[in-house]
Amino acid sequence: MVGVVIEAGINCNGDVNIAKKLIDVASAAGCQYFKLQKREVDLVYSQEELDKPRESPWGTTTRDQKLGLEFTELEYMEIDEYCKSKNIQWFASPWDVVSAGFIDQFNIPFIKIPSPLITNIELLQFCKESGRPIILSTGMSTLEMVDNAIRILGQKNIYSILHCTSTYPSKPSELNIKCITALKERYPWTKIGFSNHYPGLMGMIMAVALGAEMIELHATLDRTSFGSDQAASIEPQGIFELMERIRLIDQMKGDGIKKIYGSEIPIIKKLRR
């Protein structure tokens, strides 16, 4: 079965209750993982960027907006306990080494390198030294960049490599789903997956049909909510539909061995000449 990651990230808008509702959806739909993003705002963004005017529910500057999206340590502990109660695992994408150290205190199954940081050697090395299995996202990257990240991380530490196009939402013409096949050929020693930013199910369904073993999708309770990722996200009904289609694909793929099924025997007797 394909591993499905519900990326809640900034779509939670810093509200634990929204996170819990998305956890409920992920668990009920049969998804395996719930994912967040963690940033130490002053390390990720410049002072100039943080001081820029930006209207949001939390204030009038970019700093206000970025801080408003982050969960506190107590809130992470609450989310951790809630995921346990719903029998679903969670992990996060750290955007800096302080955040990586923070999430490493929890019993998470993976640590994920977000696409913008695939060239950040300090973060790659820190995540390697954590000993956690690593998921590597490859948006905004060439194969040479991916190869270099793998050299730093070490093959044995990588759980999955995700094809990704880092636009929100992505255009159909830029999804390039055939990269799943190319990555499977280039990196046969690990799981290849797809991180979706298209506001529909087709790209993920195609990726699974081409052999993707992990699917990550941005999820939201309501695509009209505040936030830059909402337009590239899937609402609860779509998540349930996706899981149904993934299970159906899994049944339809079969084992690849050409055979006569028992259900065909009566048809053979009736029609074969």
Q: What is the pLDDT of residues 239-256, one digit of tens each?
A: 999 999 999 999 999 999
Q: Say what the pLDDT of residue 248 is.
A: 96
* CB-based contact 111:100 (threshold 8 Å): yes
Q: Could you confirm whether domain 3-271 is CATH 3.20.20.70?
A: yes
| Structural contact between residues 101 and 72, judged by C-beta atoms closer than 8 angstroms | no
Q: What is the mean pLDDT of residues 40-59?
A: 96
The residues, ordered by sequence, that sit 6+ positions from 254 with a Cβ below 8 Å of its Cβ are none
Distance CA 203, CA 196 (A): 7
| Mean pLDDT for the stretch of residues 38-66 | 97
Q: What is the pLDDT averaged over residues 177-182?
A: 98
Position 200 scores a pLDDT of 96
pLDDT band at 1 (very low <50, low <70, confident <90, very high): confident
Residue 47 has pLDDT above 90, yes or no: yes
Mean per-residue pLDDT of the chain: 97
Q: What are phi and psi of 91, to 5 degrees?
A: -155, -170
pLDDT for 88 equals 98
Q: Specify the pLDDT at position 54.
A: 96
- Cβ atoms 103, 111 nearer than 8 A: yes
The pLDDT of residue 241 is: 98
What are the C-alpha distances in Å from 156 to residues 23, 117, 121, 126, 180? 30, 20, 18, 15, 20
Contact 93, 38 (CB under 8 A): yes
Average pLDDT over residues 103-119: 97
Q: Which two tokens stand for residue 13?
A: 């808008």
pTM: 0.95
Each residue's pLDDT tens digit, 138-168: 999 999 999 999 999 999 999 999 999 999 9
* End-to-end Cα spacing for the chain: 40
pLDDT number for residue 45: 96
Cα angle at 142 between 139 and 148, to 5 degrees?
Answer: 100
| Residue 28: pLDDT over 90 | yes
